[in-house]
A and B are shown apart, each in its own frame.
Chain A
């Protein structure tokens, strides 16, 4: 096949649509949750002892 055709963009690193990456949304959710969950743990300790 002729090589004169301009080089297409390689399919490598063609990321899926954002909605299709469960990890991306999950990761941001976890990051968002972290400050909220951490303070509850010291609270639990005070109740326990």
Chain B
């Protein structure tokens, strides 16, 4: 997660902070206009996001895993973790994505110490 854990100077894993915003982030199951959201539409919204992300990230190297947090702790919500096969690929992606935007919001990207997602829990 993005709390004050040590940030490595290089890692195969990148963290994109709070990148995914669920359509119902204010109230679960309801959109910003107060209309209930169809779970199918929500799934599609997420899949579109995931697809965009994957298509963009694969340009920089071979992706080992791509995780999106759907966690309600606000310091973690929508965090995206992408693990590349090679550290250099991660470094390349970091270089290419820094300072860019996704859906009108700046991309906040950094190396993450996480290499095993089964072990990764914020303590």
Residues on A lying within 8 angstroms of B by beta carbon are 1, 8, 10-17, 20
Contacts and interface: CB of A to CB of B under 8 A. Distances in A.
A1 B44 contact: yes
A14 B101 contact: yes
A10 B56 contact: yes
Contacts of B104: 14-17, 20
B102 A14 contact: yes
B102 A12 contact: yes
B49 to A, nearest CB: 7
B103 interface: yes
B55 interface: yes
B52 A12 contact: yes
A1 B40 CA distance: 11
A13 B47 contact: no
Contacts of B49: 11
Which residue among B55, B56, B104 has the maximum number of chain A CB atoms within 10 Å of its CB? B104
